[in-house]
Amino acid sequence: MAKTESPKSSVQTDMAPESKPAKDPGTDDDIADLTKGLGSFSIETKPTSRKLNAPAAIQHFADLLASNKFRNIVILTGAGVSCSAGIPDFRTPGTGLYDNLQKYNLPFPEAVFDLNFYRNNPAPFVQLASELWPGLKHSPTVTHSFIALLEKKGMLLRNYTQNIDMLELLAGVSEEKIIECHGHFRTASCTTCPAAFDGNECKRIIVNEKRAPLCKKCGGAVKPDIVFFGEGLPGRFHRLLRQDMKKADLLLVMGTSLMVGPVNMIPDMVPKSCPRVLLNRELVGSFLKRGGVQTRRKNYDKTGKDTFCAGDCDENIRILCNLLDWEEELDELNSSTRLIPPKARK
């Protein structure tokens, strides 16, 4: 991370050290000597921050944002933006969620989010949900804070998130700006009948009692309103998607494999005049064409290709904000939303 120095002024002078005979104030000689003395001072202001070395793709993205041309940015996020918060993604070999569900004795990893499986055996999901319930252990990352910063600057149209961790909301992004494509934990309902169930009571039973709540009307298993396999996406997703895609003037995709539909179709729904930026460890979806960044789409200035910023989301966001002189604002936002005070930096 860039080190920040407090502004200082260093004063250097070449004036001779020996003293001169005192003169009567107000004489022409006094004024001449004063003018000569002031002319020998050199005032140097040290920069307040050191610019980080930036890959060309990050620099290009910074130039786009600095142009002030974009006021309807659409962001699509996946599990990769939450990994540094301590929440595993789903598919990374060895560390992903699906590779670490053996203790639940599932017939297949995805069964933990399968609606029919939950109705018959809710225990695996209940255990997982009690460990990952939003707002208990995990704080927003700097990537989540960056999304909140874009809203603060009036640049964010919508954040389509595939995540159920609610870290965008905890980071300060307003609920109106978020589309939680796969649902959330704030409300709950029965999996057998359409009856709603109090969200706070659902949380208490799952987190504290480690069991599935039961519907007060039919006795069926209740779960938080996150989308399981076999369920449709929230109505708000469908209501806003097409109009948001038409308005989008820049698309930012971060931390996703783009393997789960229909959300993985979003990058191909923006206008061809809309530049697309991918912050990810690898090329995915239609960003990948013949082994490299595909060039069929034209962005607004007709340079003719997408922008791929390879690597860790948080690291790239920090470099980006350093280039834009947004780093102090980013850190203030992130610090204000941490559930646990950050460890002292070495």
Residues marked active site are found at 182
Do residues 290 and 262 touch, judged by C-beta distance below 8 A? Answer: no
Distances (CA, A) of 286 to 144, 159, 261: 24, 19, 14
Do residues 116 and 230 touch, judged by C-beta distance below 8 A? Answer: yes
Neighbouring C-alpha atoms within 13 Å toward the C-beta of 179? 24
For 30, the token pair is: 């006094």
Tokens 């050290």, residue? 17
Distances (CA, A) of 27 to 15, 19, 22, 262: 20, 18, 11, 85
Cα–Cα nearest to 255, from 100, 96, 122: 96
For 43, the token pair is: 């005032």
Distance CA 219, CA 47 (A): 66
Neighbouring C-alpha atoms within 13 Å toward the C-beta of 340? 11
State CA 279 to chain mean position distance: 10
Distance CA 164, CA 70 (A): 28
| Cα dihedral 119, 123, 128, 129 sign | positive
State CA 271 to chain mean position distance: 23
Distance CA 97, CA 116 (A): 20
